[in-house]
C-alpha cells in the first residue's frame, strides 16, 4: 500500500491525466481508446483482447506502455464494482429485516390476543365461542412461577361496570348450575392408565407403622447414585442441596437381609390439598413443628397434579413425566427417621409402633386436573374420566385430607394481588372479573358445571381464577371416593382468630399425641406465614361493585357447601 501511494503521488506531480475508472494514464491527445472498461455498458471483459490477457492493467507513461508488474503487480479485483452493489444490497437487506420484524410482532400480537379471545382460525379442542385452547399457560408449579401468567388483559371488549348488566351474566350462570354425582371409575380402569405406578406401590404397608411404608429391594451398588435421574434434582437448583445430603447418608439407611439391600419407601399419611391463598402455608409451617410430623423434602411437589404429567413450568410446555420413584424420593428423609424407630431395640423387643407420620402440602391437589385432556380419552362430554383423588384412593384408601378455605371473594382478590405482575389496581381487577364471568357463562351455555370447572381451555382463558373458589364442586368429587370423616375442612377466618383452636382440631384429626406447654406455645404463637405484601396492602380493598358481583356469583356454591358441611359459617355472610 505504501508503494502504491508513492506511485500515485508521483503520477500526480507529473501533471498527467488518468482515467479514474481503470487507473490508466492518458496522453494529451489520447482518445482513451485503451480504456476498455470505459467503453460503455456493452463492454465484455471476456471478449476484450486486452482484458482477457494476463488480467493486468497497462499503464501509459510518457507515451510508452509498460507493465505495472514492474513496479507493483496489481491484480484486478472487482471490489470497487461490488461496493456500490453491496451498499445497495445492505440497504435493501436492512429494510427487509425491519419489515420482517414488524410483521412478526404483528403476527405475535394477533396470535396471543386471538388465542385468548377466540379469534384464531385454528379450532380449539373445546370451542366455547369466546376462547381457544392454550395448553402452555396452565396454572404453574408454584406461587412464584405463576406470576408471569397474569399479565394485564388487552381484550377489546366493553367492560360493563354497572352492577345490573353483569348481574344478568351471573343469573344465566346460576340458572345452569347442577350438582351432578360423578361416576367413579373402577380399579382396573385406573390400572390401565398408570400401570407403572401400580407396579411400584404395593397393596399393603408395614403393620407396625402408622405411616404407609414398605421395604423395596435396592439393586444398585456403592458406586451408584440413587438420585442421579431424579427429575426434581435435575430441574430445580433449589433442591440439589437436599439431594446432596441424601446421597451422603443413603447407604447408612439401607436394610441388609440375606445378601440383599432394601430401602424403606413411604407415602404421606395425610395431604393438605387446598386451597391456594387460603392459609395452607401457615398451617404447614405450624404443623411441621410437631415432634411426630414430617413433611416431604419440598413443601409443594405438585406431583399428583402436574409433575407426573411432565409439567415443570406451564409456560414451558410438557417435559418428560416424573416417575413415581422421583416422588417417593422426596420422603426419604422422613423414611430414614421412621426406619430408625422401627429398627430400634425397643421396637424389636416390645413391638413398638412407629407414630411418626408424613404430610404433603401441594395446594393444587384439590382442584387442579387441567392436564387430563392431554392424557386421557375425551369421551365424557368434556368431563375428565379420571381425577387425582381416584389414584390417591386406589393406593391409600385410608389417607387423611385437610382443606383450608376462606371467603372465595377475598381469596380471588388475594390471588390477583399475589400473581399479577404489573398494573395492579382495583379497576383492573374489576375488569378481569367481568371478563372471566363472561367466559364462564359462555362455557356454561354448552357444557356441564364439572366440564367447565375442570376445563383447561377455560381456566387458561380467564384472567382471574374464578374456578378455584368453587369449593363445593371439588369437595363433592373428593367425597365420591373418600369418606367424610377422612376430610377435615377448616376456615382461614377461624384459624386467624383462634390459631390454638384450629391446631387442636388438626392434632385430633391426625391422632397426634399430646404436647407439652412449651411445644404447644411454639406451634400456636408463631407469627403468621405468607401474609399479604405491603405493596399489595397499599392498593386497598376491591371496589364495592366488584365485591357485590362476586358475592352473587359465589352465593349458590357457598350455599351448597354449607349444606354439605352442615355449617352456615361457610356462607361467609359476615366477611
Residues 380-390: tens digit of each pLDDT: 678 999 999 99
**Residue 102 pLDDT > 70:** yes
How confident is residue 154, by pLDDT bands cut at 50, 70 and 90?
very low
pLDDT at residue number 158:
40
How confident is residue 211, by pLDDT bands cut at 50, 70 and 90?
very high
Check residues 362 and 320 and name the one with the higher pLDDT. 362
Check residues 197 and 310 and name the one with the higher pLDDT. 197
C-alpha cell belonging to residue 304: 399428583
How confident is residue 575, by pLDDT bands cut at 50, 70 and 90?
low
Could you give the 3-state DSSP secondary structure of residue 210? coil
Could you give the CA distance from residue 184 to residue 182 in angstroms, rounded to a whole number?
A: 6
Mean pLDDT value of segment 547-553: 96
Say if residue 12 is exposed, middle or buried (CB neighbours under 10 Å; 0-12, 13-18, 19+): exposed
pLDDT at residue number 346:
61
Check residues 234 and 12 and name the one with the higher pLDDT. 234
Could you give the CA distance from residue 303 to residue 322 in angstroms, rounded to a whole number?
A: 8
How confident is residue 206, by pLDDT bands cut at 50, 70 and 90?
very high
**Residue 17 pLDDT > 70:** no
pLDDT at residue number 288:
94
Mean pLDDT value of segment 21-36: 43
Residue the block writes with cell 437448583? 237
C-alpha cell belonging to residue 12: 500526480
pLDDT at residue number 92:
65
Could you give the CA distance from residue 22 to residue 414 in angstroms, rounded to a whole number?
A: 79
- Do 481 and 393 form a contact (C-beta atoms < 8 A)? yes
Q: Which helix (H) or strand (E) holds 431?
A: helix 426-444
Mean pLDDT (the chain) is 79
- Do 558 and 469 form a contact (C-beta atoms < 8 A)? no
DSSP code string of 51-105: TTSSS--EEEETTEEEEGGGT------THHHHHHHHHHHHHHHHHHHHHHHHHHH
pLDDT at residue number 437:
96
Mean pLDDT value of segment 2-14: 43
Closest CA to 308 of 412, 422, 193, 396: 193
Could you give the CA distance from residue 193 to residue 372 in angstroms, rounded to a whole number?
A: 11
First to last CA, the chain: 88
Could you give the CA distance from residue 80 to residue 71 in angstroms, rounded to a whole number?
A: 22
**Residue 559 pLDDT > 90:** yes
**SS (HEC) of 335-383:** HHHHHHHHCCHHHHHHCCCECCEEEECCCCCCCCCCCHHHHCCCCCCCC
**Residue 4 pLDDT > 50:** no
Mean pLDDT value of segment 91-109: 74
Check residues 448 and 109 and name the one with the higher pLDDT. 448
pLDDT at residue number 8:
42
How confident is residue 316, by pLDDT bands cut at 50, 70 and 90?
low
| Beta bridge partners of residue 213, listed in sequence order | 266
Instruction: List b or e across 28-52, with b for residues whose CB sees 16 or more CB atoms inside 10 angstroms.
Output: eeeeeebbbbeeeeeeeeeeeeebe
- How many helical (H) and strand (E) elements, i.e. helices and strands, does the chain have? 23, 12
Mean pLDDT value of segment 88-102: 70
- As a whole number of Å, the CA-based R_g of the chain is 37
pLDDT at residue number 441:
96
Mean pLDDT value of segment 304-323: 81
Say if residue 435 is exposed, middle or buried (CB neighbours under 10 Å; 0-12, 13-18, 19+): buried
- Do 309 and 388 form a contact (C-beta atoms < 8 A)? no
Residues 162-188: tens digit of each pLDDT: 688 899 999 999 999 999 999 899 999
**Residue 24 pLDDT > 80:** no
Check residues 78 and 242 and name the one with the higher pLDDT. 242
**Residue 64 pLDDT > 70:** no
Could you give the CA distance from residue 89 to residue 214 in angstroms, rounded to a whole number?
A: 72
**Residue 359 pLDDT > 60:** yes
Neighbour count for residue 269 (Cβ, 10 Å): 24
Q: Name which of 199-213, 281-295, 418-432 the model is least confident about.
A: 418-432
Q: Name which of 11-20, 102-111, 116-125, 528-537 the model is least confident about.
A: 116-125
**Residue 204 pLDDT > 70:** yes
pLDDT at residue number 137:
35
pLDDT at residue number 377:
75
| Beta bridge partners of residue 143, listed in sequence order | none
Could you give the CA distance from residue 419 to residue 356 in angstroms, rounded to a whole number?
A: 36
Check residues 505 and 132 and name the one with the higher pLDDT. 505
pLDDT at residue number 571:
98
- Do 421 and 535 form a contact (C-beta atoms < 8 A)? no
How confident is residue 378, by pLDDT bands cut at 50, 70 and 90?
low
C-alpha cell belonging to residue 267: 407415602
pLDDT at residue number 205:
97
**Residue 370 pLDDT > 50:** yes
Q: Name which of 16-25, 106-115, 344-353, 566-575 the model is least confident about.
A: 16-25
- Do 328 and 396 form a contact (C-beta atoms < 8 A)? no
Residue the block writes with cell 410437631? 290
DSSP state of 235: H
| Beta bridge partners of residue 491, listed in sequence order | 405
pLDDT at residue number 58:
43
Mean pLDDT highest for which of 78-92, 297-311, 399-413, 533-547? Answer: 399-413
**Residue 373 pLDDT > 80:** yes
C-alpha cell belonging to residue 503: 391446631
C-alpha cell belonging to residue 355: 407414630
Residues 225-269: tens digit of each pLDDT: 999 999 999 888 788 889 999 999 999 999 888 889 999 999 999
pLDDT at residue number 456:
86
How confident is residue 348, by pLDDT bands cut at 50, 70 and 90?
low
CA distances in angstroms from 384 to 190, 273, 478, 506, listed in the order given: 13, 19, 14, 31
Amino acid at each position: 500500500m505504501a508503494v502504491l501511494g508513492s506511485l500515485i503521488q508521483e503520477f500526480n506531480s507529473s501533471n498527467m491525466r488518468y482515467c479514474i475508472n481503470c487507473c490508466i494514464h492518458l496522453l494529451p491527445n489520447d482518445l482513451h481508446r485503451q480504456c476498455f472498461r470505459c467503453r460503455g455498458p456493452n463492454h465484455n471483459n471476456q471478449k476484450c483482447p486486452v482484458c482477457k490477457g494476463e488480467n493486468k492493467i497497462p499503464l501509459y507513461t510518457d507515451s510508452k506502455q509498460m507493465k505495472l508488474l514492474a513496479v507493483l503487480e496489481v491484480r484486478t479485483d472487482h471490489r470497487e464494482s461490488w461496493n456500490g452493489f453491496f451498499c445497495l444490497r445492505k440497504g435493501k437487506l436492512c429494510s427487509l429485516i425491519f419489515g420482517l420484524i414488524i410483521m412478526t410482532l404483528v403476527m405475535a400480537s394477533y396470535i396471543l390476543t386471538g388465542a385468548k379471545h377466540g379469534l384464531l382460525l385454528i379450532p380449539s379442542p373445546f370451542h366455547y365461542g369466546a376462547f381457544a385452547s392454550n395448553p402452555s399457560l396452565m396454572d404453574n408449579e408454584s406461587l412464584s412461577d405463576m406470576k408471569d401468567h397474569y399479565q394485564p388483559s388487552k381484550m377489546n371488549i366493553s367492560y360493563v361496570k354497572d352492577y345490573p348488566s353483569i348481574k344478568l351474566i351471573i343469573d344465566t350462570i346460576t340458572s345452569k348450575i347442577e350438582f351432578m354425582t360423578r361416576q367413579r371409575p373402577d380399579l382396573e380402569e385406573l390400572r390401565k392408565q398408570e400401570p407403572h405406578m401400580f407396579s411400584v406401590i404395593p397393596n399393603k404397608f408395614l403393620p407396625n407403622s402408622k405411616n404407609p411404608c414398605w421395604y423395596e429391594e435396592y439393586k444398585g451398588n456403592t458406586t451408584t447414585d440413587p438420585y442421579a435421574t431424579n427429575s426434581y434434582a435435575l430441574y430445580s437448583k433449589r433442591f440439589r442441596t437436599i439431594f446432596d445430603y441424601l446421597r451422603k447418608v443413603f447407604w447408612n439407611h439401607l436394610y441388609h437381609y440375606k445378601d440383599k439391600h432394601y430401602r424403606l419407601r413411604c407415602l404421606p399419611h395425610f395431604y393438605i390439598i387446598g386451597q391456594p391463598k387460603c392459609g395452607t402455608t401457615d398451617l404447614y409451617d405450624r404443623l411441621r413443628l410437631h415432634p411426630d410430623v414430617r413433611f416431604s423434602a419440598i413443601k409443594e411437589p405438585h406431583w399428583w397434579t402436574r409433575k407426573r404429567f411432565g409439567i415443570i413450568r406451564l409456560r414451558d410446555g410438557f417435559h418428560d413425566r416424573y416417575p413415581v420413584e422421583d416422588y417417593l424420593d422426596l420422603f426419604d428423609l422422613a423414611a430414614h427417621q421412621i426406619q430408625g424407630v422401627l429398627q430400634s431395640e425397643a421396637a424389636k423387643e416390645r413391638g413398638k409402633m412407629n407414630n411418626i407420620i408424613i404430610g404433603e402440602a401441594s395446594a393444587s391437589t384439590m382442584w387442579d386436573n387441567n392436564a387430563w385432556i392431554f392424557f386421557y380419552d375425551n369421551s365424557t362430554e368434556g368431563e375428565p374420566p379420571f381425577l387425582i383423588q381416584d389414584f390417591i384412593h386406589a393406593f391409600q384408601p385410608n389417607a387423611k385430607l385437610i382443606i383450608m378455605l376462606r371467603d372465595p371473594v377475598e381469596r380471588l382478590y388475594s390471588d390477583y394481588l399475589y400473581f399479577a405482575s404489573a398494573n395492579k389496581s382495583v379497576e383492573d381487577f374489576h375488569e378481569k372479573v367481568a371478563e372471566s364471568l363472561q367466559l364462564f357463562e359462555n362455557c356454561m351455555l354448552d357444557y356441564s358445571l364439572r366440564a367447565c370447572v375442570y376445563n383447561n381451555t377455560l381456566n387458561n382463558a380467564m384472567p382471574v381464577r374464578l374456578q378455584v373458589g368453587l369449593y363445593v364442586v371439588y369437595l363433592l368429587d373428593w367425597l365420591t371416593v373418600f369418606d367424610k370423616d377422612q376430610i377435615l375442612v377448616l376456615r382461614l377466618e377461624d384459624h386467624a382468630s383462634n390459631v390454638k383452636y384450629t391446631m387442636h382440631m388438626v392434632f385430633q384429626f391426625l391422632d397426634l399425641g399430646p404436647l407439652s406447654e412449651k411445644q404447644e406455645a411454639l406451634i400456636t404463637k408463631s407469627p403468621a406465614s405468607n401474609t399479604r405484601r405491603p405493596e399489595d396492602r397499599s392498593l386497598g380493598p376491591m371496589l364495592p361493585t366488584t365485591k357485590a358481583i362476586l358475592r352473587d356469583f359465589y352465593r349458590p356454591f357457598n350455599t351448597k357447601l354449607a349444606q354439605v358441611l352442615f355449617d352456615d359459617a361457610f356462607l361467609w355472610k359476615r366477611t
